[in-house]
Structure 1
Amino acid sequence: MSYRKNFQFDNGQYYHLSFDTLVDLSNIDMRLRYMLVHFCLDIEHCIKTKLLNEITFQTEDDGYSFLGKYIASNNNPSKIKQKILTQIKRTNSKLYDKHHAQLPLWVVMECCEFGVLESILAFYLASNPNSALIKLNVNRIEADNNNISLLSYVRNIRNKAAHNSVILNSI
């Protein structure tokens, strides 16, 4: 088990390590993953809800025009549109059948992957500097002269937790 890495190893022997301890760490790790995945899903839901609310009620855009601007601003608009349509079709074929000709933002938010949400949010915040989402500092921080998306950390934690990756293997 990978939890053994948390224990001192010397002369070919782990100190204070037993099978019961490994089982306990495994259970703690599992419960931590369950908590983390719920936290991450709550963060994702809150960001989607706030973003949709702001676009709908506080901007000149509606969900259709905003999404059109987002797609048009991309380096390869047809590729990003196809990626979004593929995600929608894979997630909910009825929504795809109804909206594939003209996409509303709420359908994309319902079906898109976290990376698409990050990209849409970055586009929105670039054109709406007074957004409440900027005040939450969810999009970017400076670290050693590199822009890092805080949401990418949430996505990574969510993916590790959802795919049962061991979290407590080197603490």
Structure 2
Amino acid sequence: MSKIENFRNKPKKTAVELVQMLRDEKGIQFNIMSEEQAVEYFSQRNNYLRTASYRKNYPKHIAGPNEGKYINLEFAYLTELSTLDFYLREILLEMCIDVEHDLKVSLLRELEADSDEDGYAIVRNFLAQNPEILSSIERKTDASFTGELIEKYFGVCSVFSAQGARSYLATRIYSVDCPVWVLEELIGFGEFLRLYRFYAERNPQFKPLMNQRVLNPVKSLRNACAHNNCLLNVLSRTSTTKPSPEVSAFVASFENISAGERRSKLTSRPMFEIVCLLFAYTKIVSPAVKKRRMAQLSELIHGRLQKHMDYFDGPTGNKLVATSFDFLKKVVDNLI
């Protein structure tokens, strides 16, 4: 096993040194944004790690004097992708929250109609089978909103815990008297999806609004957006991404997307997760909210996203980026 030596091989660099490294070692060009502007960008607007991550979408020379350097890659292309990624994440996060909200409402509606369910037993059984979720609720007792709810619906005590030679006071839940409509306010989207599946498995008559094969990628996308992770830095195919039949059929229903384009783009993890969200959105979210949010997404795709499309389109552009944006545009246009 090789030893990791990042401390030695990747030392701290100044903004000036980072720009010089991109130019000399990576072959990145500064004809649109100057080196001075790039230094200011790293100093004031964004960090190197996030900005440079978008270079993964670009090919390198595989031989010759420029071997290992990127082909026709301008620094401005990286900053543009970073900007578009930011705007896209803003809208997608709101859309993920819309899906989460309406799923929670639908589960409560189902429970209300279920005469055999009092809303409390399901919580006790669910938390008994998922103690790690109960532990995550314990960690939220100090939060301003959740703390008050936890004290009302859970028996809470303080205990001394030891971690090595260190002792500290910890919060423990010793009893549960919480209804599902309160639990929904205390757990994250991923934990809620487990609750949603838990109820469906115990109640065969319940017809979930959406398959977990679609909702799990939506959860992944929500987490990425909420944590401000980059989405557009790896647009190429990934061998582990296999679209579910319903998502493939969803895209296949659009006449302006060929079978080849569908197969290619749905094996790109970011495109696949975004399409899963759009598919779920059409099935779950209320018409009024859907109309407004889809209009916002369409405005971004037809507006700001097109501003510097010449960076990616054309004979010297980036086919991977250009075709990914075109695919996303086609999907959205079919839903407006």
What TM-score does the superposition give when structure 1 sets the normalisation length? 0.79
- Conservation of the 8 A alpha-carbon contact between 2:137 and 2:187: no
The match for 1:86 is 138
Instruction: Kindly indicate whether the alpha-carbon contact (under 8 Å) linking 2:85 and 2:231 is maintained by their aligned counterparts in 1.
Output: yes
Deviation at 1:20, TM superposition (A): 1.8
Separation in 2, partners of 1:7, 1:85:
43
- 1-side partners of 2:232 and 2:142: how far apart? 33
Shift of residue 54 of structure 1?
A: 0.7
Any idea what the Cα deviations from partners look like across 1:112-155, whole Å, max 9, x if unmatched?
1223212211111012223231xx3333x4xxxxxxxx332222
- Which residue does 1:48 correspond to in 2? 104
Question: Percent of pairs identical after alignment?
Answer: 33
Deviation at 1:65, TM superposition (A): 2.3
Q: Distance in 2 between matches of 1:112 and 1:128?
A: 21
Is 2:127 the partner of 1:127?
Answer: no
Which digits, 9 at most, give the CA deviation of each residue in 1:10-40, with x for residues without a partner? 1243233212211111111111211221121
- Partner residue, 1:34: 90
Q: CA RMSD in A?
A: 2.2
Partners of 2:154 and 2:110 lie apart in 1 by 24
Name whichever of 48-57 and 150-159 sits farther off.
150-159
Where in structure 1 are there 5+ consecutive unaligned residues? Answer: 142-149
User: What is the CA distance between 1:87 and its match in structure 2?
Assistant: 5.3
**Aligned position for 1:99:** 153
> Could you say which residue in structure 2 is the equivalent of 1:138?
211
SS in 2 for 1:132: coil
Tell me which protein shows more helix as a share of its residues.
1
1:168 Cα shift?
A: 0.9
**Larger Cα-atom Rg:** 2
C-alpha distance in 2, partners of 1:82/1:71?
A: 6
Matching residue within 171, 192, 205 for 1:117: 192
Aligned to 1:24: 80
CA shift, 1:58, in A, is 3.2
| C-alpha distance 132-87 of structure 1, shift in aligned 2 (>3 A) | farther
Deviations 1:42-67 (A, max 9, x none): 11111111111111223421211222
Number of residue pairs aligned between Structure 1 and Structure 2:
156
Higher relative contact order (CA 8 A, sep 6+): 1
Q: What is the distance in 2 between the residues matched to 1:61 and 1:84?
A: 25
